[in-house]
């Protein structure tokens, strides 16, 4: 997938942000709803699907392997699946664009089917490590040929029947866990994943909802997730809650811009994803949960966020797995806190769409923020609520969360902040700039 033409944008300081907004559907749940619906027999319906480029790459891949996937005029997606074991040989390479989730999870699906699939992606995705998935899938019998360094493009030749394994995660990664569980769906016997540190549990919840036999229990080495293979999945109706990773940017924006009062509707608050809410509250943020409820088996609430003075903290390391995608937003919040914030325990940031530690350090420092780089995070000296100097142009490094994070920083900067390319935002949040305008923010394109 060719990267689109760069879209430079300049962000101007906001006087106040106010209003009600609704963020797109959760990206993690959207990916999984398409994949599991495509493996069920019959028609599943998905409401609130994130229609960003990453999720559309998953939809295209599942179509290429035999599923019928259509979006109705009512914005409900209808998926007629092929059944576990029924994936068809794709006739062309599967272009994953910028989506690491699509790539790693689909590698797991292919690994236990008698098909061969080639995975390609854009420059950013092609630089991300896949060995963490290649190792366990190879142990199950898949034959995987990757580019140097275990990277894309790569080819997966599935084995059917594959070999069930017990695999202890060497890295804290929901994607690796999910890839092994998805491979286990079409593998005779019981496949087990041992998770020393709990990660987001959307795969476990959704697999159970579709009728797979899956258990989660504590063990001496961590959570033990066991799935019984050769499953028969039943079609489901899924309502996707709002993505907490997308809501993160508005939580920080409303907190740092004086006078702001924003309600973010329908935000997923799964405990394995809500670490940023906890961290911001520890810093003094005013975040109120309205109308808490359960949607599609996931805890959800509307979040009212008002401007508040923040204090620097040492972010608890054990929050990292539940907010790993939200660190760029947290770094921005820290830039406006009183004193120093130390945010560590997040080695995984080095291998996201960009090296988010190095890239955020460079972006913040270019705009007058004092930072100290650690191998696993940043220490940031905040302004005590005053605007940051701003005035610089920063590189998004083809990373949607870097671009959105620095847009938020620009909303309370003394001088406009320019981002060299905001086009990656469309991978996860196509309506981001529309919502910014709705709340009273202002940008200039070009």
Annotated catalytic residue 355: no
- The answer to whether 28 is a known ligand-binding residue is yes
Local structure of 301: helix, strand or coil? strand
Whether 347 has a binding-site annotation, put simply, is: no
441 is in an annotated binding site: no
Burial class (CB in 10 A: 0-12, 13-18, 19+), 400: buried
DSSP annotation of 339 reads S
At residue 445, the 3 state secondary structure works out as: strand
Query: Which spans in 86-231 are helix H?
Result: 100-111, 123-126, 131-139, 174-184, 202-209
Is 128 among the annotated ligand-binding positions?
yes
Closest C-alpha among 59, 53, 30, 322 to residue 174: 322
CB 300 within 8 A of CB 57: no
Residue 27 among known ligand-binding residues: yes
Report the 3 state secondary structure along 205-245: HHHHHCCCCEEEEEECCEEEEEEECCCCECCCEEECCECHH
32 appears as a binding residue in the annotation: yes
Residues 325, 376, 386, 399: which is the catalytic one?
A: 325
131 is in an annotated binding site: no
Instruction: Check the annotation: does 126 bind a ligand.
Output: no
Q: What does DSSP assign to residue 258? A: T
Specify the 3-state DSSP secondary structure of 259.
Answer: coil
CA distance 333 to 87: 45
- Do residues 407 and 436 lie in contact, with contact meaning Cβ atoms separated by under 8 Å? yes
The answer to whether the Cα torsion of 310, 313, 316, 322 is positive or negative is positive
Q: CA–CA separation, 372 vs 390, rounded Å?
A: 18
Inter-axis angle of helices 100-111 and 174-184, nearest 10: 30
Beta-carbon neighbour count of residue 22 at 10 Å?
A: 16
Q: Are strands 298-306 and 9-12 parallel, antiparallel or unpaired?
A: unpaired
**By the 8 A CB rule, do 128 and 149 touch?**
no
To 5 degrees, how large is the angle CA 89–CA 92–CA 94? 90
Vertex 6 angle, CA 4 and 10, to 5°: 145
Half-sphere exposure of residue 361, counting CA atoms within 13 Å on the CB side? 17
Question: Dihedrals φ, ψ of 207, to 5°?
Answer: -60, -45
Residue 356 marked as a ligand binder: yes
Residue 420 annotated as lining a ligand binding site: no
The binding site for phosphoenolpyruvate consists of: 27, 100, 128, 175, 356, 401
The binding site for 3-phosphoshikimate consists of: 27-28, 32, 173, 175, 325, 352
Q: Which residues are catalytic?
A: 325
The binding site consists of: 27-28, 32, 100, 128, 173, 175, 325, 352, 356, 401
């Amino acid at each position: 997938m060719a990267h689109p033409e760069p879209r430079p944008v300049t962000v101007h300081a906001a006087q106040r942000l106010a209003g009600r907004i609704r963020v797109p559907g959760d990206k993690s749940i959207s990916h999984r709803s398409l994949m599991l619906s495509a493996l069920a027999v019959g028609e599943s319906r998905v409401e609130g699907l994130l229609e960003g480029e990453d999720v559309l790459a998953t939809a295209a891949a599942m179509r290429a392997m035999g599923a019928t996937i259509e979006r109705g005029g009512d914005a409900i997606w209808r998926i007629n699946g092929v059944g576990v074991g029924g994936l068809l040989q794709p006739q062309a390479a599967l272009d994953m664009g910028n989506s690491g989730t699509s790539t790693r999870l689909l590698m797991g699906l292919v690994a236990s089917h008698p098909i061969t699939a080639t995975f390609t992606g854009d420059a950013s995705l092609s630089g991300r490590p896949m060995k963490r998935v290649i190792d366990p899938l190879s142990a199950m019998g898949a034959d995987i040929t990757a580019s140097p360094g275990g990277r894309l493009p790569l080819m997966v030749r599935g084995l059917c029947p594959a070999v069930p394994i017990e695999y202890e995660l060497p890295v804290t990664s929901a994607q690796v866990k999910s890839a092994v569980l998805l491979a286990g769906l079409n593998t005779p016997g019981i496949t087990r994943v041992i998770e020393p540190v709990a990660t987001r549990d959307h795969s476990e919840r959704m697999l159970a909802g579709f009728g797979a036999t899956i258990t989660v229990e504590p063990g001496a080495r961590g959570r033990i997730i066991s799935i019984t293979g050769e499953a028969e999945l039943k079609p489901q109706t899924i309502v996707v809650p709002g993505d907490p990773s997308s809501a993160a940017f508005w939580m920080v924006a409303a907190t740092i811009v004086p006078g702001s009062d924003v309600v973010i509707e329908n935000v997923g608050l799964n405990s394995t994803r809500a670490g940023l809410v906890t961290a911001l509250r520890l810093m003094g943020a005013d975040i109120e949960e309205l109308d808490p409820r359960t949607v599609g088996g996931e805890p959800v609430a509307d979040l009212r966020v008002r401007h508040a003075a923040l204090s620097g903290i040492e972010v608890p390391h054990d929050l990292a797995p539940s907010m790993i995608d939200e660190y760029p937003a947290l770094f921005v919040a820290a830039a406006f806190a009183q004193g120093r914030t130390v945010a560590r325990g997040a080695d995984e940031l080095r291998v996201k769409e960009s090296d988010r530690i190095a890239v955020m350090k460079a972006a913040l420092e270019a705009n007058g923020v004092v930072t100290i780089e650690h191998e696993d995070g940043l220490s940031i000296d905040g302004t005590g609520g005053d605007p940051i100097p701003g005035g610089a142009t920063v590189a998004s490094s083809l990373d949607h969360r870097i671009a959105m994070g620095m847009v938020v920083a620009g909303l309370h900067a003394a001088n406009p902040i320019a981002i060299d390319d905001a086009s990656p935002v469309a991978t996860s949040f196509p309506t981001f700039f529309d919502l910014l305008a709705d709340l009273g923010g202002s940008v200039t394109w070009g």
